Amino acid sequence: MIKQGLLSLLALCSARATASVTVRKTDRGTTGYEVDFKYVNTTASRVLIGGGLQPFSDHFHTTLNTRAWYDPHDYKPGDFYVSFGETPDDYQWPYEMANEGDGVWTYTTPLPSGIYSYAYLIDCNYAPNCSIVTGQLVTDPDLPPFQNVQGDQVASSFQVPFDARFQGTDDISANFDYALPAPAEFRGTVKSVNYSSPGSIHPEPDVHHFGLYLPAEYGRVQGKKYPLLYLSHGAGGNGNDWENLGRMSSIIDNLIAEGHIEPTVVVMPSFYNLDDSLPRFIMGNASTTWELPTSQHIRENYQRYLFPWVEQHLDVCSAPSCRAFAGLSWGGRLTYEMYVNATDYFDWFGMFSPATSGPYVDAEGLAANPALARKGLFVAYGLYDSVFDAGRDVQAALDALDIRFLSRITPFGGHYWNTWQDELWWFGVKALWKPFPYTQRTGR
Ligand SMILES: *[C@@H]1O[C@H](CO)[C@@H](O)[C@H](O)[C@H]1NC(C)=O
Ligand SMILES: *[C@@H]1O[C@H](CO)[C@@H](O)[C@H](O)[C@H]1NC(C)=O
Ligand SMILES: *[C@@H]1O[C@H](CO)[C@@H](O)[C@H](O)[C@H]1NC(C)=O
Ligand SMILES: *[C@@H]1O[C@H](CO)[C@@H](O)[C@H](O)[C@H]1NC(C)=O
């Protein structure tokens, strides 16, 4: 488990006390903050930092397919990162570590507000091509990922604060401070949980796993049952992604601290390896495939094993009126599946960059299931999101049936973690646990 402090992200008591990632407030350009990476590897001959770290772009040079390629040393207010786009011919990967001798590698860069996931790429000449699959990626031994079993996650992460003097702009607000640690009394706990799920093939036969967030108050109020949010990862991920790559615990802590939501339990399930009907997928295992289970397959498995287990083992309420399902990308598709086919089990649904495909609900479907119009729905996607069309199509289908929902189109948003942090935050501020059907006053 990692609940890291704001400025000191290093593994304080490790034997390699010299290596670290440190976020420093500088009070000067380009962003007001600098990040020092220090990594020890005596056999490497070149080390790039990749595994999630991206070059920057701005909204004048970003489309659904392309981006600029800025080094954050040249950061300008309004710059942001997206994770797609052709490499320019004169490409130069910004994040190259310097060899200080004795196997010590260092790199320092300013970075703007946000979460950054990263891993070290050893003896790699072209960062976008080096990965766990090519065997050139190692996670930071001094800031290990939040994961259940070694190899479940292949990147670590850190968060950089906002400084309006250097990052403020009228163009775009990219202030992610809601994902920094909340005041101590509001900090919940996050951990991995193994549960009994017959047929599961990971982490061991008949045992499956989820990430669990418990609010600070949990366990302190005799007999209290908490509202329950299921929060799904997307393709190529697992239940620890939301914490490891999106720092969901800080986002939920802050939503609670600021009074946007009441203390809520969050279960982050894992939809791969539920049974052996599909190829196994584990991120750190290069030989696994990305073949995806259908949403129906996942839903039926969760209904059979996960939902009853959670109700039995956690102090959570057991009514639809305090239950929600949300997810990103393929998890947004799964959320749509829950909306249509587990309508009565949940009252709120958050589709974040949903990787859906039609046909969507129509008048006939609504007539057969009128409860579809009486739910708390939130549909969000990024302006530069690879599922932009899908998100719009979901919204158009709901509009056509006069089904009320709340919308968020993230202005700097590609199909990536900064977008999903933004979507989770606004889901909490505007939609989650709010009375519905939504009106123009909801969340005002
Ligand atoms: C150092 O680099 C080698 C490749 O040269 C890699 O196999 C090893 O895991 C790295 N060690 C550490 C501590 O990251
Ligand atoms: C990166 O990988 C792509 C696809 O495999 C390949 O076409 C390209 O030549 C590679 N680029 C470099 C610089 O290695
Ligand atoms: C879950 O089970 C796996 C496999 O037995 C084990 O390695 C892991 O430590 C367990 N996790 C927890 C949180 O108990
Ligand atoms: C819902 O269930 C039906 C029948 O069980 C299935 O055909 C459909 O694919 C499921 N999902 C959606 C989103 O309609």
Kindly report the CATH number assigned to the domain that includes residue 271. Answer: 3.40.50.1820
Which pairs with CB-CB distance under 8 Å and at least 24 residues apart come from 334-337?
334/232, 334/271, 334/295, 334/298, 334/299, 335/232, 336/295, 336/394, 337/295, 337/296, 337/298, 337/299
Q: Rounded CA gap, 62 and 413, in Å?
A: 10
90 CA from centroid of ligand 4 (Å) = 48
Q: Which of 175, 194, 227 corresponds to the end of one domain?
A: 175
Indicate the top mutation candidate among 1, 146, 147, 149 to test ligand 3's pocket, ranked by most ligand atoms within 8 A of CB: 149
337 CA from centroid of ligand 4 (Å) = 7
Q: Rounded CA gap, 3 and 172, in Å?
A: 29
For residue 91 and ligand 2, the question of a CB distance below 6 A is answered with: no
Q: Rounded CA gap, 284 and 20, in Å?
A: 22
Q: Are residues 346 and 316 in the same domain?
A: yes
CB 59 within 8 A of CB 171: yes
Indicate the top mutation candidate among 194, 196, 209 to test ligand 3's pocket, ranked by most ligand atoms within 8 A of CB: 194
192 CA from centroid of ligand 3 (Å) = 8
The reply to whether 439 falls in a domain is no
Q: Are residues 219 and 119 in the same domain?
A: no
Which protein residue's CA is at the shortest distance from atom 6 of ligand 3? 149
CA dihedral 240, 245, 246, 248 (to 10 degrees): 30
Q: Rounded CA gap, 147 and 212, in Å?
A: 12
Q: Are residues 251 and 400 in the same domain?
A: yes
Q: Are residues 126 and 14 in the same domain?
A: yes
Q: Map residue 109 onto helix, strand or coil.
A: strand
12 CA from centroid of ligand 1 (Å) = 21
Query: For residue 268, what are its two tokens?
Result: 């982050």
- What are the residues facing 326 on neighbouring strands? 231, 350
Q: Which pLDDT value is given to residue 278?
A: 84
Q: Are residues 70 and 188 in the same domain?
A: no
CATH code of 123's domain: 2.60.40.10
Q: Is 290 exposed, middle or buried (0-12, 13-18, 19+ CB in 10 A)?
A: exposed
Q: How far, in whole angstroms, is CA 97 from its chain's centroid?
A: 27
Q: Are residues 56 and 22 in the same domain?
A: yes
Strand (E) positions, 123-175?
137-138, 156-160
Q: Which pLDDT value is given to residue 421?
A: 98
Residue 143 domain boundaries? 2-175
Q: Which pLDDT value is given to residue 128?
A: 85
419 CA from centroid of ligand 4 (Å) = 28
Ligand 2 atom closest to residue 128's alpha carbon, by position in its atom list: 1
Q: Which pLDDT value is given to residue 12?
A: 38
Q: Are residues 205 and 348 in the same domain?
A: yes
In this structure, the strands spanning 137-138 and 114-122 are antiparallel
Q: Which of 175, 204, 226 corresponds to the end of one domain?
A: 175
The reply to whether 85 falls in a domain is yes
Query: For residue 419, what are its two tokens?
Result: 């977008």
Q: Map residue 160 onto helix, strand or coil.
A: strand
The reply to whether 353 falls in a domain is yes
**Which of 152, 355, 147, 151 shows the shortest CA–CA distance to 235?**
355
Q: Are residues 316 and 275 in the same domain?
A: yes
Angle at 235 between CA 231 and CA 240, to 5 degrees: 45
Which protein residue's CA is at the shortest distance from atom 5 of ligand 2? 129
The reply to whether 444 falls in a domain is no
Q: Are residues 94 and 193 in the same domain?
A: no
Instruction: Give the number of the ligand closest to the Cα of residue 299.
Output: 4
The reply to whether 40 falls in a domain is yes
Q: Are residues 203 and 260 in the same domain?
A: yes
The reply to whether 441 falls in a domain is no
Which protein residue's CA is at the shortest distance from atom 13 of ligand 2? 126
The reply to whether 436 falls in a domain is no
pTM of the predicted model over 0.75? yes
Q: Rounded CA gap, 321 and 319, in Å?
A: 5
Residues of the chain scoring pLDDT < 50: 1-17
126 CA from centroid of ligand 2 (Å) = 8
Q: Rounded CA gap, 435 and 264, in Å?
A: 16
| Helical spans, DSSP H, in 123-199 | 164-167
pLDDT (tens digit per residue) in 421-444: 999 999 999 999 999 999 999 988
400 CA from centroid of ligand 4 (Å) = 20
Q: Are residues 304 and 398 in the same domain?
A: yes
Instruction: Give the number of the ligand closest to the Cα of residue 144.
Output: 1
Which protein residue's CA is at the shortest distance from atom 3 of ligand 2? 129
- What are the residues facing 190 on neighbouring strands? 213
Q: Rounded CA gap, 247 and 187, in Å?
A: 12
Q: Are residues 85 and 168 in the same domain?
A: yes
The residues lining ligand 4, judged by C-beta closer than 6 Å to any ligand atom, are 296, 336-337, 340-341
**Which of 296, 153, 270, 146 shows the shortest CA–CA distance to 200?**
270
Q: Which of 175, 203, 219 corresponds to the end of one domain?
A: 175
266 CA from centroid of ligand 3 (Å) = 19
Instruction: State how many domains the chain has.
Output: 2
The reply to whether 437 falls in a domain is no
